[in-house]
Every structure is written in structure tokens, then in C-alpha cells.
Amino acid sequence: MIETLGELVVSLLIVAGSGFTLVGSIGLVKLPDLMTRLHAPTKATTAGVGGVLLASMIHVVVRSGEVSAHELLIALFLFLTAPISAHFLAKAYLHLHRERERNFPPACHGRDWTLLDEPGEELPREDRPQPPPRV
């Protein structure tokens, strides 16, 4: 009984996870430019991979009664790296197409985006942002 129920949950999670991954890939094909396409993979890594990993954990627990920690680690590493790679992709794209993609708004305070700095230009030491003192 427990085993059937477990298998049902596992199958549902796998189907849901792969569904999200599929939608992410469809988005990659359908969306018009790089910036909108970038939204598709961040979705596939969160809900898609998350669903499959959860299924794997439940499967191991139901089958052998042991708790497997590897899935937690995979999830942790993915959640740490996905935003960073998305950030790098966006920055690389914006750097390559600085002239064409200049339609983003200016920063709201004194200094503008780091994207707009000239290569090799360095802030004078006194202008570099400093963390506030601890209170």
C-alpha cells in the first residue's frame, strides 16, 4: 500500500518536473530575444529539477528506508549557481550589445550601472562603496 502510494507520488513529481523543464525549453524556442529567453532556464532549474530531485528522494526512502542527502546537495548547488550563471549571461549580453540595448533606465542614485563603465576604468578609492559600520 505504502509502496503504491509512494510510486504514485514519485511518478506525479517526475511528470510535473519534466513538464516544467519542457515548458522551459518551449520558452527558449518561442521567446523573441536573449533577455526574455533567459527567464526560461531559471525556471527549468528551479521547479523542473526540484520536482525530479524530490521524486528521487522519496523513491529512495520508500524503496530502502534510507534517507539520501545527495539530492539536497544537488538542489543546493543548483540554487547557488543558477542565479550566478544567469547574471553572467545577462551581463555578457549587455556588454556585447551596449549600443543596441541602451534602453534600460538609469540607476536611481549618483553612480550609474557598472555595465556603462569603460573597460579598465577604476573608481577612485574614496568613491568605492564601503560597507556600513556595525552597530
Q: Which residues bind another protein (CB under 8 A)?
A: 20, 23, 26-27, 30-32, 35-36, 38-40, 42-43, 46-47, 50, 68-70, 72-73, 79-80, 82-84, 86-87, 90-91, 94, 103-115, 117, 123, 127, 129, 131-134
Min separation Cβ 118 and another protein, Å: 12
| Nearer CB in complex with another protein: 11/70 | 70
As to burial, measured by CB atoms within 10 angstroms (0-12 exposed, 13-18 middle, 19+ buried), residue 110 is exposed
Min separation Cβ 74 and another protein, Å: 10
CB-hemisphere CA count at 13 Å for 11? 6
Min separation Cβ 70 and another protein, Å: 6
Residue 79 backbone class (left: φ over 0; alpha: ψ -120 to 50; beta: rest): alpha
| Nearer CB in complex with another protein: 8/107 | 107
| Nearer CB in complex with another protein: 9/90 | 90
Cα–Cα distance, 59 to 6 (Å, whole number): 7
Cα–Cα distance, 88 to 84 (Å, whole number): 6
Cα–Cα distance, 102 to 100 (Å, whole number): 6
Min separation Cβ 90 and another protein, Å: 4
